[in-house]
Amino acid sequence: MHYWIRADSADFAGPLPQPRSGHTAVLIGKSKVVVFGGLVDKKFLGDVVVYDIENKLWFQPQCSGSGSDGQVAPSARSFHVAVAIDCHMFIFGGRSGSKRLGDFWVLDTDIWQWSELTSFGDLPSPRDFSAASAIGNRRIVMYGGWDGKKWLSDVYVLDTMSLEWMELAVSGTLPPPRCGHTATMVEKRLLVYGGRGGGGPIMGDLWALKGLIEEEIETPGWTQLKLPGQSPSPRCGHTVTSGGHYLLLFGGHGTAGWLSRYDIYYNDCIVLDRVSAQWKRLPTGNDPPPARAYHSMTCIGSRYLLFGGFDGQSTFSDLWWLVPEDDPISKRVLASPPKTLSENKDMATANDSIRSAFKEGDGEEYAITELQKRLNISFALSGSRLQIIDELEDKEFLELASGFIGDKVFNTPQAIQALRDRWRNSAPRSIPLKELGPLLRDYQRLITRHHLSSDGSDIQFLESGVPGKETYEYYHIKSASQLRMDDIPKLLAEYIQLSPV
């Protein structure tokens, strides 16, 4: 079990970094996390902000340096790549305004000095939304990106000692070109997940690239991996962070459009277990941070530090710890106020839409208490209203409904009913994973309305196994990420029994 802990003033000293997305954060040894660049309110950033792990201190170093045009440091940018090797942070590319960059810099974090590097060989073209990873303690591999005209699928390897770039000639089947993906070295392979591809689709495929280790005589080649378990939904702008024997995937966004307010943003945690070679949902004991993309996630010992990101409307400056249950700061969860029943920012935003389900006033609080008691739910509510989002406020639900009707001319209520009818007539295996969140929210919405519309007097549940009793096993589930594959047929069976009210 892990817990999300919002960082507080006791965790850090010094000035905290300003809000940003599309920045990078690299771990230098075990001593510091170096944040560079990013974007906030259409302003590109070029600052360096450092977290001193031992002293729990944020600070901004005074960096010196020299570039080809006499500048001291790289220009402000976002959506670049950054890789740490020893005490050095190498950065390449990115975007500044509408311009894609192709310059190459290194920051010596022992003396805080920038140097623009003049490299040679097969130089990569200017690009943003690429992904890169260190190969051992000398080389860097970079894959894909967007050059302003096309999505890329090229692979470049840089020797940081000789500063020579080499484009890797890869035989066989190639992954579709993409940007906004992740690339992570695991042992002798580069694992690439997700991203946005040519023509606009957001992908959820996983590929492994061999032939990167000089000591191994292997012909470079890609292999698509189809692993068992609960794989992530297609996304880009996510992070994949290596920690122990697993890789942790967090956040990102789905559907078409770059940084669009109409995209769906995620805050789920999915683990790729390197030992069992399967996807797993990371069990978390409390609510996650707000959904986001283009954030940073850094592994510091057994902890993960989440910073920044963008959710289609706002740029974040919040800092969160993701910690195992035996971590001392996990005790804050027990001391914090109880959470409201909610899936995430996409499901519930502390709105008042539940008023359409039952009357206001004292009877409302009683109805909620009665529903909890009859459902045998032990969670607590921090307010007097149960936070169940209305259909017309459920953006993801409405997008599915409008997408389902296609060219047919339906009004909104008819589209909603058509989606519900489709779910009721679907086999469990035919429902895409991306629809489980909207389905779960609608299930909870219908239960609440049905059983609170008459002050709970028509409820006949719950003791499981008692003949004739209704059981709503998934009413209390906070997020679809908590569902197991074998829960889906049961959830759908209960949903089919519910009638819209």
Q: What is the arithmetic mean of pLDDT over 409-427? A: 83
Average the pLDDT over each of 18-27, 88-97, 203-212, 255-264 and give the range with the smallest value: 255-264
Could you tell me the fold of the domain covering 2-333? Answer: Neuraminidase (2.120.10)
Rounded Cα distance between 72 and 218, Å, is: 41
Domain boundaries in the chain?
2-333, 371-497
Beta strands 246-250; 269-273: pairing state: antiparallel
Contacts of 328 (CB under 8 A, 6+ apart): none
Q: What is the arithmetic mean of pLDDT over 468-475? A: 59
Average the pLDDT over each of 213-227, 308-322, 381-395 and give the range with the smallest value: 381-395
**32-62: pLDDT as tens digits:** 999 999 999 999 999 999 999 999 999 999 9
81 closest CA partner among 124, 31, 136, 138: 124
DSSP 174: -
Percent of the chain residues past pLDDT 90, beyond the cut: 52
Tokens 């008459």 — which residue? 454
Evaluate if residue 277 carries a pLDDT over 80: yes
Are 117 and 162 spatial neighbours (Cβ–Cβ below 8 Å)? no
Per-position b or e across 456-469, b if 16+ CB within 10 A of its CB = beebebbeeeeeee
Q: Which of the four pLDDT bands, split at 50, 70 and 90, describes residue 413?
A: confident
Q: Which of the four pLDDT bands, split at 50, 70 and 90, describes residue 384?
A: very low
Rounded Cα distance between 444 and 63, Å, is: 54
Report pLDDT for 482.
72
Evaluate if residue 152 carries a pLDDT over 50: yes
Evaluate if residue 175 carries a pLDDT over 90: yes
Evaluate if residue 497 carries a pLDDT over 60: yes
Percent of the chain residues past pLDDT 70, beyond the cut: 81
Are 251 and 267 spatial neighbours (Cβ–Cβ below 8 Å)? yes
Any idea how long the chain is? 501
**295-311: pLDDT as tens digits:** 999 999 999 999 999 99
Report pLDDT for 334.
65
Report pLDDT for 87.
95
Mean residue pLDDT across the chain = 82
Residue spans of beta strands (DSSP E) within 364-421? none
Q: What is the arithmetic mean of pLDDT over 362-387? A: 40
46 closest CA partner among 77, 89, 91: 77
Evaluate if residue 345 carries a pLDDT over 70: no
194 phi-psi bin (left φ>0, alpha ψ -120 to 50, beta other):
left
Q: What is the DSSP string of 235-298?
A: -BS-EEEEETTEEEEE--EESSSSS-TTSEE---EEEEETTTTEEEEPPBSSPPPPP-BS-EEE
99 closest CA partner among 127, 121, 70: 127
Rounded Cα distance between 454 and 357, Å, is: 10
Report pLDDT for 368.
41
Rounded Cα distance between 83 and 491, Å, is: 44
- pTM, two decimals, is 0.68
